[in-house]
Amino acid sequence: MKITKSNPISYEHDIHINETKDYEKVVLLLHGFQLNGKFMFKRFEKLFSSNTLVMAPNAPFVVPLKKDDGWEARYGWYFYDPDKRNFYINYEPASYWLCDIVRELNKKRAPVTIIGYSQGGFIAPKVAESLTEVEKVIAINSIFRSERFSIRKEVTYSQVHGKLDSLVSFEDAQEEFNKMQELGAKGDFLEVEEDHFLNRNLVKSAMKMV
């Protein structure tokens, strides 16, 4: 016999954040699978004005990365088996956890923009579903799975996707984006001549949508 129970475990968690108290807007950066918050923070933080609170948390689930000299802690937002087409952990736990973090740190209830790369872009619109301060969602080399979240009419959903992406299908991303447009979502889809890795050109392209 097997039973299933919900039993949240609390532990200390790292969030990369800039030092600003006089902020007027917030940017939430969501990294890709088996990466960390620092990966996003070092690429984006200095591109925003001083009146922007920038936060880049490590995802809540540890996904260790094997190195030559041992293991390094990396993180994931959810777990999906593409072969079995099955979620072991879906979008909800991490998205609700992110909502709590942003509400705690964004005491001014300033408007929020979410920038998610790869797996972080998949989950970003789920966060926007519940976090009412979100005004923009920008996904990089991701797919908006509209069946997994509710579209908010006041939120802009935009994407940047590399036409040469070897991990996340450009064609699938474009098709799903068009479906969202048909459902009434607003936003832009920008294609660039890049592969999956988050390089300067992809970052620059995403910043055009902020």
The CATH code of the domain that includes 143 is: 3.40.50.1820
Q: Tens of pLDDT along 105-154?
A: 999 999 999 999 999 999 999 999 999 999 999 999 999 999 999 999 99
Q: Tens of pLDDT along 11-65?
A: 778 999 998 889 999 999 999 999 999 999 999 999 999 999 999 999 999 998 8
Please provide residue 136's backbone torsions phi and psi, each rounded to the nearest 5 degrees: -135, 140
Q: Are 149 and 96 in contact (CB under 8 A)?
A: no
What was the pLDDT predicted at 193?
Answer: 97
Q: What is the average per-residue pLDDT within 90-119?
A: 95
Cβ–Cβ contacts within 10 Å for residue 153, how many?
7
Report the alpha-carbon distance of residue 140 to residue 157 in Å, rounded. Answer: 11
Residue 86 within a domain = yes
Residue 3 within a domain = no
Residue 6 within a domain = no
Residue 2 within a domain = no
Residue 115 within a domain = yes
What lies within 8 Å, CB to CB, of 13 at 6+ separation is 57, 58, 60
Above 90 in pLDDT, residue 10? no
Domain count, the chain: 1
| Beta-sheet pairing, 75-76 with 61-62 | antiparallel
Coil, helix or strand at residue 118: coil
Q: Are 57 and 13 in contact (CB under 8 A)?
A: yes
- Lowest mean pLDDT, pick from 22-36, 72-86, 155-169: 72-86
What are the angstrom distances between the C-alpha of 152 and each of 40, 70, 127, 134, 156? 25, 44, 11, 10, 8
Q: Are 176 and 158 in contact (CB under 8 A)?
A: no
Cα Rg for the chain, rounded, in angstroms? Answer: 17
CA dihedral 81, 87, 92, 94 (to 10 degrees): -40
Cβ–Cβ contacts within 10 Å for residue 13, how many?
13
Residue 8 within a domain = no
Q: Which domain holds residue 139?
A: 15-207
Name the residue with tokens 């940047």.
Answer: 160
H/E stretch holding 40 reads: helix 37-44
Residue 138 within a domain = yes
Residue 169 within a domain = yes
What was the pLDDT predicted at 174?
Answer: 97
Name the residue with tokens 């030559």.
Answer: 68
